[in-house]
Every structure is written in C-alpha cells, then in structure tokens.
Amino acid sequence: MGDHKTTPEHAALDQIFVWRLIKRTYRFFRNLVLILLATALAAGVGILYLKSKPLPPPDLYTSSKIYDEKGRLIGQMDEREQREPVKLEQIPTHLIQATLAAEDKNFYHHRGFSPSGIIRAAIANLKAGHVVQGASTITQQLARNLYLTHDRTWSRKIKEAILTVQLELHYSKDEILEMYLNEIYYGHGAYGVGRAAKVYFNKNVKELNLAECAFLAGIPRGPQYYSPYLHLSRAKQRQRHILDLMVKNKMITAQQAKMAKSRTIALAEPAKPREMKAHYFRDYLVQTAVLKYGLDESVVRHGGLKIYTTIDPSLQHYAEETIKHYLKDKGDLQAALISVDPHTGHIKAMVGGKDYSASQYNRVFARRQPGSSFKPILYLSALENGFNPLTRILSKPTSFAYEGGIYRPSNFRNQYAGRPITLREAIARSDNIYAVSTLFQIGIQKEIETARKLGIKSPLRPTPSLALGSYPVTPYEMAQAYATIAAGGVRHPLTGIVKIEDPYGRVLVEEQPSPVRVTTPAHAYVLTRLLSGVFDSDGTAHRVRQMFTRPAAGKTGTTDWDGWLSGFTPDLATTVWVGYDRGKTLPHAEARLSQYIWGAYMKKATAKQPSRIFAVPRGVKAVYIDTDTGYLATPFCKHTRLEYFVSGTEPKTTCPEHSPPIGEQPEPSLWDRLVDWWNSL
C-alpha cells in the first residue's frame, strides 16, 4: 500500500471540522460563562432580597413569670416552658467551646452550612446503613427551632435553608450563638443554658466549671436519652466524649480533660413540678394586660415579662379547695369566688369554676341575677335619703303601680310579717315588700346612681324589680360594691396587677391607686351593722355561723337560677356564686351551698389574722332602743338592743310604754354614762 496523500478535498474537510469544533467549544464556554454569571447574579439578587426581607417573628418563647403579693415567684404563664435568658458574655467560655465541639466545630468559619459536615455525616450514615449522624449546623438548628416544625419534608428543608441564610445575613455569629444557647432544649422543662444550669446544678450559668459545662453541652443531642436523672451513665459517657472532642479541637488540654472527667458531678435534686393552680386568675391577668394596658397577648404570655400580682397563694388554695369540696359529686353545678382586700382593691383569690380543665369560662365575670344580694345597694341609697335602721314599712302582699303597669312582688314562700317591720328586720328576713316600697319612696334613679358609684357597670333598667336584683351583674362587680362598703365608703378599683416589667427590669405597667369616696363613713358603717344581722340566728345566712364566728356583714341572694353570698370582715370582702351555666333551675339546697363555701373559705382565709371588730367612725351615734316600740329604751324596757345611727337620725323620744313609775327615776348605770360620753365626742 502506498502512503496516504492529503488531497485538497480532505484538507478542506479537516478545516471545516476544526472550525466547527472551535465554534462548539466557544458556544459551550460562552453559555457556561453566561450561566455562571446568571447564577451569580441570581444568587446576588437572592442574597440582597433575603437581606432586605425581615425575618418572621421567632417563636422564641420565654414564658412570662408571675409573682405573688409579696414578690415571690409562684408560677409562669406556660408551666411547660422554663427559661432564664442570659447574655453571651455571661456564659462560660468552656460551655461555649463544649457546645461548638458537640454541635458545630466550624460554626465561626461557615455561612450557615458546613460542606465538610455534610460529607462526614453522609459517610457515617452510609457505613451504618441508617441515619446515625446529623449535619445540621447551629444556625440550621436555630432556624428550625425558631420558625419550623421538626417534620422531615422537602418543603420544610427548603424553608430551613432559606431561613438559615437569612439568619446568617441578619445576625452576627455571636448573636446567633446567643440565641441558640437561650433556645435549645435541655430536658426537664429547661429551655436555654440559663435555666438548665439551675435545673441540673442549682447554679447561675456563669458559675459552671469545665466538667459541668461538658456535661450540659451533651444533653441537647437527646434530652431524654442523656437525662442525668433518667440515665446517669449515658450522660457521663456523653460528657467524656465532649471533653475528648474539646481536646481534639485544641480547646482544652488533655490534662484539663482528665481532671474534668474525674470530677464528681453534684446534681441538684430533681425539682418538683411547680404548678400555679390559679388558672382563671392567670387568664384574668392576660385579659387585663391586653384590654386595660394595651399589651400584645403573645408578649404577655411569652415575652419573658415579670408580672407582679396581688394574689395570696394561701387564700387562692383555700378558695379552690373549698369549691372543690362542696361541689364534689354535684354534676354540672358550678361556682365562682372572688376575694379582695377592701382597703386596697387587691384581688387575693379568684376561682372562675370548679374545673378549669373542663371549662375555661371565668364565671367571676359572668352576668347573673344577684337577687337579694343587690339590696344593700338599695338600702345604702335609702340611708343616704333619710332612712334609719328603725324605719318601718308594712310587710304584707302589696301591689305597686308604676308607668309600666302594676308590679306585684312576693316574699319567699309567701311569708309576710303582717306588721310594720324595721329596716334591720327587712334585711335579716330579706323582705321583698320592704325593698320595693323603699325603692318607690327614694326613687328608682337613686338606686341606679348608688350602684354606679359602688362599681356596678352592667346595664340596669329603671323598673321596680331592680330592688330585688333582677338585672344580671357579675361577681366581680358585687365584690367591688361590698368591698367599698367594707372600706367605709371608699371605692378602691379592683386589680390583680401591681406592675409589669420587661425581661430587663424596665417597668411597662404600674398600677396607680385611685380611691374614690362614694359615701360617708357613717352611712357605710350603719349599713355594715345592719348587714351583720344577716348572720344572726334569724337571718338568711345563719348557717354560716356553724363554721365562721368572727364579726362579719353580708347578704344572701337567691333566684330560680342563682345562689349568692357577698360579705366581708373588716379586712376581707368575698363574693360567692353558685349555679348552672345553661339556665337550669337551682334547688334551694344547692343555692345554700354559697353560704357554706363562703363560711368555710372565710374561716381558713382569716385564721392567721387577728379578729377585729368594725371600728365606729365619727358621725355615728349609738343608742339603746326598745325593739318593740322603736323609742329610746329605759331600764324598764324588756327587749332592747344597742343600735347605730347616722348622727341626727337617731330616736329622740324615750319609750312611753315602759317609763318608771312616778317618783322613781333610777340613777344612770355605768354603761349608760359610758354611752352618753361616747356620743358626746
């Protein structure tokens, strides 16, 4: 065969092939460059977009803390979450290093993702045949904990990647690490290193030593699996592994690790779950902070606030246990109780129902017919308009004409005295005829005005039935009204909040006392003395004296659906309501439970307080009267009692039916002289 010779045709073909190859190569690299430029541009635009787009509000919940009347921590808004946020500079260097060694040693050298970590985890997982090692960086974990659920879907992973980039763009590495250390879960209800240090070692985080730091850093990988209270040997093994990693990454020396491994870990006693049972009161705090003070509900619940309250934990416990006791095995029967300090308006106990888990409806704020427990408002107005304890009205079936027609009230079981009775008797017997007659004498508008100044805000219509408590009001309002009477006529607006601080101690809300005098001390005192007769043997609340014997004043109220007792001692005013939520008729036996609850609670609530009488204010005059005639008593009157009057309204005439025989004028007794001296002051 001869040598191959290149012909002109072959040369032309070769040349065409070369040119085509060059063009293809050019187009390839051109397109590659364009793609890279477009990718870079898109990445740049994406980064700028993510940089400009604000992060969604994180779910970094720090449950707000609740303090009692003495400033003692008694609970928090969410008992399941316990946090104590700390600044990065307060966290020991060893704890930071141990966390980085355990979770993300290249944290300060990547931008949210660790390629080497991903490769290392992939190899380990392939060798094991299942997932044994994760590749998430601290930033990724923070993004997941702050914003996402822990489900394993592609959409969640994409969102996590985007949020990871955003975190890296918006925050410095130190800020990300600080958030992470305050967010990560350490088990046993502890979120963040601040709380974890308290739970496991009963120390402030800055007091932790190297051994404790490594011990703590190992827990988040499996809070239950590595729980020292459940699996101490695992927790110690994990600690030793963390110390070895710290040596490997030149964070500590081998000698330091050896000493830390040999050091005994003194764990704190497992804390008993602290549960603040006052669930209804807690809801009231949120409602008040939001509606009255304008705070955001999520901030109130999870903003790490310090809410200083007026609650007395002992009284709250007594209230809850008393209702639980008397309503046991009572089916759907419900109760509410609110107890306040009349001299400050501070709420000491609040129970909105017998079982919060079954119903979160706070019946302290439910409008119900108060019945006769509303009458003290009427009688205060009457005293201010010329009535006195001896004012008599005939107790018999009576019809009252008014603009709307004829009103025919009746007494309980249609029992009437059939004779004129005094205001004192009318209150003790809860006589309805007396009440309606009084309303017509003083004017309906007078009672409405008195109700408003005592703190009743619910709608009230000017009809005769107002005298008998036909218009619904709340236990909260009734407690306010009775507390005002107990405080000598000064209305201290009820409150459960003293002040609210943010996590850094700045005061956001501070309750400013705003007492208002709404009646004279004399009128309030005379009404108090009249209401004390309700607990006498012939009074409607005589059952209370089976358990509570201290000086007290109050009034029962019973309707077809409600049972009430509102009353007070000199230092504590309490309202109790019982009934059904859905308008079920309330038997009288169940209505009387309000009295037993009130008496049993007040007995416990006042047990540690000295017993006090109601102090007599200026403007009150005490005289002995003949209870049969209503005149000033003489030594010859058989039925007498010491009665209190607003000065100027007391009887002036001596009893003519029981005067001494002519020529027999006995010397005044020592007691009579003392009473005369007192009245002359």
Active site residues: 103, 372
- Strand partners for 500: 307, 509
Q: How far is Cα 605 from Cα 601, in angstroms, rounded to an integer?
A: 6
DSSP single-letter state for residue 82: E
Which of 463, 457, 470 lies closest to 445, judged by CA? 463
Determine the 3-state secondary structure of 139 from DSSP.
helix
Determine the 3-state secondary structure of 547 from DSSP.
coil
DSSP single-letter state for residue 550: S
DSSP per residue, 354-416: S-TTT----GGG--B--GGGGHHHHHHHHHHTT--TT--EE-S---EEETTEEE----GGG--
Asked if 305 and 299 touch (Cβ cutoff 8 Å), the reply is yes
Q: How far is Cα 385 from Cα 441, in angstroms, rounded to an integer?
A: 9
Q: Bin 57: left if φ > 0, else alpha if -120 < ψ < 50, else beta.
A: beta
Residue 157 CB contacts under 8 Å (≥ 6 apart), including other chains = none
| CB-based burial label for 545 (10 Å; 0-12, 13-18, 19+) | middle
Q: How far is Cα 370 from Cα 554, in angstroms, rounded to an integer?
A: 13
DSSP per residue, 210-272: HHHHHHHHTSTT-TTTT-TTT-HHHHHHHHHHHHHHHHHTTSS-HHHHHHHHHS---PPPPPP
DSSP per residue, 591-644: HTHHHHHHHHHHHHHTTTSPP-PPPPPTTEEEEEEETTT-SBP-TT-SSEEEEE
